[in-house]
Structure 1
Amino acid sequence: MISNTLFITYTIMCFLSLQAITLIIIIGKHRDVGKTRLLKASAFFIVISIILGLFYYITYYRELVLGEFAANIFLRALDSVIFYAMGYSWVKLIDAIIVSPNPKMALWRKYTNKVFAILMICSAMIYIFLLDEYYSTDQFWAEVIVIVAEIVLGLTVIVFIAAYIWLGYRDLLDKASRHYILTVSILVNFNNLWNNTVVVSVFIHQVDIGVKCTLLYGVTSILLLIINFLTIFYMYKKDFSPLFFEKDHKSQPALTEEDLINLVAEQHRLTQRERDVFFLAYQGLTNPDIADRLFISKHTVKRHMHNIFEKLDVSTRVELMHLVQSQSDHPRI
């Protein structure tokens, strides 16, 4: 019963991942100028998640159905880096969604690639040279190294994800992105910690290797299924197509910039003051410039911008501009 359930879960997860990849390919083919940062980050995260799912799907079949527990160097190397690769791809996607101008974020961006490369190299070296084809060792010192490495590497992933969220969360104003980032961050971290905990439990002889397989594959299959479902749901909800598709406006009646602003303001029930702030923000003015133009404080401008982003369900000014431009095919109001 458990075997059938896990197979079904992994199968559904793989289909969801393939659907997400298909959406990204379709979007990318409609853009002649190349993929944006957000599109690349989304594709990277989805590809890594499906590689992890397929790897565990195949490994589960080999071990629990065919009874083949021996893993060659390639399989051990892939097993050792795939979880950290998923953590890395998720950090890059968080950064692409938030696009925080926080200067402290630049420092974390500077070291993210290097740190995660070190994590994956260290993990691969341990699994290749310290463990045999059955993920075991007779050396006590090797067991200690594996246990310490699993703890340190797992905590490092958590620290980086938490740092990106902490530094950029205030710049993320729409609820959909907030909920998506927080929920998937919890799932990704739990998946990594669960993997680390089960591996450590095996080496301190608290969990049998057979139980280890069931625990890893069962929990990971469920988490990956949820993550992929949330990712597709988020893509549909946010509808990033205005960022990637170019519209043909030749046959549409021309609308002035002010007409477009008024149309969006009416559709999303903006107040008159929010409409004024919205119009200046669309023209490219910064918050201090808007405050000077409207004779209000910068704090008031920030509050209005927060309300505008919430009502329009956007997270950046780039999305705001594309939302306005996407209204050009509407009739005049």
Structure 2
Amino acid sequence: MISNTIFITYTIMCFIGLQAVTLVIMIIKHNDSGSTELLKAARNFVIISVILGLFYYITYYRELVLHQFTAGIFLRALDAVIFYALGLTWVKLIDKIIASPSPRMDWWRKYTDKAFACLMFLSAVIYIFLLDENYRTHAIWSEAVVITWEVVLGLTVVVFTLAYILIGYKDLTDTASRGYIIVISLLVNFNNLWNNTLVISVFTRERSLNISLSMLYGITSILLLVINLFTVLYLYKKDFSPFYFGKKEQVSRELTEEAFLDLVAQSRRLTERERDVMILAYQGLTNPDIAEKLFISKHTVKRHMHNIFEKLEVASRMELVHLIQSKDYSKYQDASGEG
């Protein structure tokens, strides 16, 4: 009964995860005229979560159905890094959601990829050379190394996650993003620490390998299911989803200022929130003024302005104002599918 439940949970988890991947790819496809760093970070996170789920789904099937308990070099190496690849992609997604300009955040950004790459490489080396195909060691010192390394890896993900949250969380006023970051951070780190605890318990002989694996598969399947479900819901709710101006109207060449603003937003695929920010910026409002008027953070406004500049191919507010006042309809005619 438990085995069937775990299989069903993994199947649903993989389905929802693939839904999230598909959603992000579709958003990126329809948003290719602007910045997609946040979307790419979300895509990488859900892809890794699906890979992790598929890996344990296949491993669970091999062991409990096919009775194949050995793991070759490739499987052990993947097992060594996949949990922490999930942690890395999650930390990168936190960074893109918060988008904090803090100098302290820049320091953490500088060393995040290097630290995780180094730790995951050493983890793969340990799993390949200190563990045999049955995940067992043959010396006391190698057991000590494995146990120590599991502690180091688990704490590394926790430390980096906390650092990114503590530095930039106060600047994030978006309630949906706040809730998403807290919930997924708890789930990702609990998943990693649960895995670390079970590995350590096996080598300290507190549990048998088979019992630990069953507990790992069961808990991980549930956690990944919840992670992917929350991610899909978050992507649907966020304003960087592709809620573009779908209805295109015929516009004469003698455009009013308001009509031209709508044409620019439509043709360059600005989101509704980006359109609002663009109009307020054109009207002369500063970033703090825009943030107060739209009830969003200054850093969110800064991110929207960055996207607007990229999509409109301008480098400053002055160029944005000049572009609107020029009413260069020909520049946007083909892009909007008219004429």
User: Which residues in structure 2 correspond to 1:131-170 (within 5 Å)?
Assistant: 131-170=131-170
SS at match of 2:286: coil
Find the aligned partners of 2:48 and 2:285 in 1 and give their Cα distance. 37
Letter in 2 for 1:89: T
Contact 2:34–2:307, Cα closer than 8 Å, also in 1 = no
Asked whether the 8 Å contact 1:30–1:246 carries over to 2, the reply is no
Q: Look up the SS of the partner of 1:56 in the other structure.
A: helix
Aligned to 2:50: 50
1:228 aligns with 2:215: no
Instruction: Sort the Cα spacing of 1:224 and 1:78 in 2 relative to 1 into closer, same or farther, 3 A.
Output: same
Please name the residue that 1:96 is paired with. 96
Counterpart Cα distance in 1 of 2:9 and 2:96: 29
Change (3 A) 1:242 1:61: closer
Aligned to 2:250: 251
1:14 aligned residue: 14
Find 1:308's aligned residue among 295, 301, 310. 295
Aligned residue in 1 for 2:172? 172
| Shift, 1:131, TM fit | 0.5
CA distance in 2, matches of 1:200, 1:45: 26
In structure 2, do the counterparts of structure 1 residues 214 and 8 end up closer, same or farther at CA, with 3 Å as the change threshold?
same
Query: What is the rounded CA distance, in whole Å, between the counterparts of 2:168 and 2:283 in structure 1?
Result: 22
Cα distance in 2 for partners of 1:225, 1:75 equals: 22
Per-residue deviation at 1:175?
A: 0.2
Q: Is the 8 A contact 1:60 1:217 kept in 2?
A: yes
Superposed CA deviations along residues 239-276 of structure 1, whole A, max 9, x for unmatched, are: 42358x68675536967569999xxxxxxxxxxxxx9x
**3-state SS of paired residue (1:241):** coil
Q: Distance in 1 between matches of 2:90 and 2:245?
A: 28
Cα deviations across residues 197-236 of structure 1 (Å, max 9, x unaligned)? 0000000000111111111100000000000000000011
Q: State the alpha-carbon separation in 1 of the partners of residues 35 and 302 from structure 2.
A: 19
TM-score of the two chains, using structure 1 as the length reference: 0.79
Q: For the structure 1 residues 283 and 197, does the alpha-carbon distance in structure 2 shift closer, same or farther, using more than 3 Å as the test?
A: farther
Scaled by the length of structure 2, what TM-score is found?
0.78
Number of residue pairs the alignment of both structures matches: 291
CA drift of 1:64 comes to 1.4
Q: 1:223 to 1:120 in 2, by over 3 A?
A: same
Contact 2:287 2:301 in 1 (8 A): no
Specify every segment of 5 or more residues in structure 1 that has no aligned partner in the other structure, as ranges.
262-274, 291-300, 326-333
Q: Is the 8 A contact 2:27 2:242 kept in 1?
A: no
Name the structure 1 match of 2:267: none
Give the C-alpha shift of residue 31 in structure 1.
Answer: 3.7
Q: Map 1:109-120; keep pairs closer than 5 Å.
A: 109-120=109-120
3-state SS of 1:59 partner: helix
What SS does structure 2 have at the residue aligned with 1:309? coil
| Cα distance in 1, alignment partners of residues 256 and 65 from structure 2 | 64
| 1:76 aligned partner, one-letter code | R
Distance (whole Å) between structure 1 residues aligned to residue 17 and residue 171 of structure 2: 29
Q: Identify the residue that residue 268 of structure 1 maps to in structure 2.
A: none
Letter in 1 for 2:55: F
What root-mean-square deviation, in Å, do the aligned CA atoms of Structure 1 and Structure 2 show? Answer: 3.0
| Matched-pair contact (CA < 8 Å) for 1:31–1:246 | no
1:121 aligns with 2:108: no
Identity of aligned residues (%): 56
Q: 4+ residue runs of structure 1 moved beyond 6 angstroms?
A: 252-255, 258-261, 320-323
3-state SS, counterpart of residue 67 of structure 1 = coil
Give the aligned partner of residue 60 of structure 2. Answer: 60
Of 73-82 and 162-171, the range deviating more from structure 2 = 162-171
Aligned counterparts of 1:121 and 1:228: Cα–Cα separation in 2: 26
1:140-186: CA deviation from partner (whole Å, max 9, x where unpaired)? 00000000000011101100010000111012111000000010000
* Distance change in 2, residues 1:228/1:316 (3 Å): farther
1:205 maps to amino acid: R
